[in-house]
Amino acid sequence: MNNLNFINPFSVREDPGSSVGDLYTQNFSRHAKTGTVILNLGPQHPSTHGVLRVIVELEGEYVIRAEPVLGYLHRMHEKMAEVKTPWQFIPNMGRVDYLHPVAWNWAQVGACERLAGLEVPERAEYLRVISCELNRIASHLMWWGAFVMDLGGVTPILYAFEEREKINDILQIITGSRLTISYFRFGGVSADIDERFVRLTREFIPYLRERLKMYKALVTDNVILRRRLEDIGPMGVDICQRYGATGPVLRAAGLPRDVRRDIPYGVYPKLDFAIPAGPSDDCFGRYLVRLFEVETSLNIVEQALNELPDGPVKMDKAPKANWKLPAGETYFAVEGARGQIGVHLVSDGGKTPYRLKLRAPSFCNLSLFAEAAKGVLLADAIAILGSLDLVIPEVDR
């Protein structure tokens, strides 16, 4: 309670390698210029969505250096894959990315199927597409709400949650869960759709299309939002490829790369859908690409529902819980909401895989941030961080 301890936080640092803060902060401030402020954004900060921590060096309100600090949500999923059988590991994947769990399901199950050479029935493949795309819509909508909230607009997230709730209701019918979905099984999916699922989905598609028009008028065309996003945080093809960014970030830069088209899996080759490229590599471009992908996914769901063949949803003699992977090595990639999800699976023929490497798109997309945030305002840095659509459990795995 004495004011002798009062330290001016903006005082010019006499000793750059001071002992203030933890090791990361100390190391970061070792290279700090004089007269700047080291600010910790996170791990508990409203805009880092979870437990991402970013150390920034501020000169006035300008970020001159930024460094993400990871690992606050590291849950050793890759190690768990080595001690669990593939069957036991399926629910883990929903925890890696809680916004698009179906794609992660697909990545792991797909890798095991490719290694074992399992044939998935046609109907199951269509159901996989339907559930994955519905989940992608939910993920993008959730991002949309959270992103506008980062910019200070508090209302859209509640609208987004309402649509996401409808998707959750639909997915709950077949998957049984609403957040950490584990719908896929080796050689198929866990449950067939019913009449109610089809009815709700068919009602949902035109409904969301109407809503998207409203969102365009309400949010996308808002002059404040445009001024906040246009020409902010440009990330060209060059920087995206250097850091291995994929998904909407890369597509907004102008490169129409999409695993669904480039390394086809499932029944995507049979479906007709557009892959957006551009229109600009700034935050607004990434915003538009994601909203466009929502429409694309709606089209895919509609097509898949129309072309849905009859048949079983699981192959005959599908692997049981005590199933052993054959020895070998494989790689399987799917397009998640955030980019390319890759699973590199190595098995020595034992009960558990020898190694399972997860390639998380958020991790690569986040690594762009340090370079993109140089020299922008703090508010713009938050916008750039939001436009990358990070899911922190996926970054840390």
Partner 1 sequence: MDLSITSLAQIIIACLMVIGLMVANAVVMVYFERKTAGFIQRRPGPYEVGPRGTIQAICDSMKLLGKQLFIPGNVDWLLYFLAPVLAFFPVLLLFLPIPFGKFLTAMSVDEGILLILAFSGLGVISNILAGWSSNNKYGLLGAARAVSQSIAYEIPMIMSLLAVIFLSGSLNLSQIVEEQGSWPWQWNICVQPLAFFIYLVSLVGETNRAPFDLPEAESELTAGFHTEYSGMGFALFFLSEYANMLLVSFVCVTFFLGGWKGPFLDGFWWTFIKAYLIMMFIVWLRWTFPRVRFDQLLNINWKWLLPLSILNLWITAIVVKLL
Interface with partner 1 (CB under 8 A): 1, 3, 5-7, 9-10, 37, 39, 45-47, 58, 61, 148-155, 158-159, 162, 222, 224-225, 227-228, 377-380, 382
- Of 155 and 172, the one with the shorter C-beta distance to partner 1 is 155
Nearer to partner 1, 93 or 383 (CB): 383
Q: How far is the CB of 282 from partner 1 (least distance, A)?
A: 14
CB of 35 to partner 1, least distance (A): 14
Q: Which is nearer to partner 1, 26 or 85 (CB)?
A: 26
Closest to 121 in 3D by CA, of 333, 264, 305, 308: 308
**Are residues 395 and 363 in contact, defined by beta-carbon separation less than 8 angstroms?**
yes
Tell me if 24 sits within 8 A of 31, measured CB to CB. no
Backbone torsions φ then ψ of 128, nearest 5 degrees: -60, -45
Closer CB to partner 1, residue 25 or residue 105?
25
Q: How far apart are CA 292 and CA 94, in angstroms?
A: 25
Instruction: Please state the closest distance from residue 112 (CB atom) to partner 1, in A.
Output: 41
Q: Identify which of residues 159 and 183 has a Cβ nearer to partner 1 in the complex.
A: 159
CB of 386 to partner 1, least distance (A): 8
- Rounded to the nearest whole angstrom, what is the least distance from the CB of residue 5 to partner 1 in the complex? 5
Q: Cβ 304 to partner 1, closest distance in Å? A: 30
Closest C-alpha to 113, from 349, 345, 316: 345
CB of 40 to partner 1, least distance (A): 8
The residue among 162 and 238 lying less far from partner 1, judged by its C-beta, is 162
Residue 42 vs 247, nearer CB to partner 1 = 42
Question: Which is nearer to partner 1, 93 or 376 (by Cβ)?
Answer: 376
We find the least distance from the C-beta atom of residue 54 to partner 1, in angstroms, to be 12
Q: Which residues contact 213 (CB under 8 A, 6 or more apart)?
A: none
Q: Which of 236, 201, 242, 279 is nearest to 367 (CA)?
A: 242
Question: Do the Cβ atoms of 66 and 50 come closer than 8 Å?
Answer: no
Q: Confirm if 89 and 81 have CB atoms less than 8 A apart.
A: yes
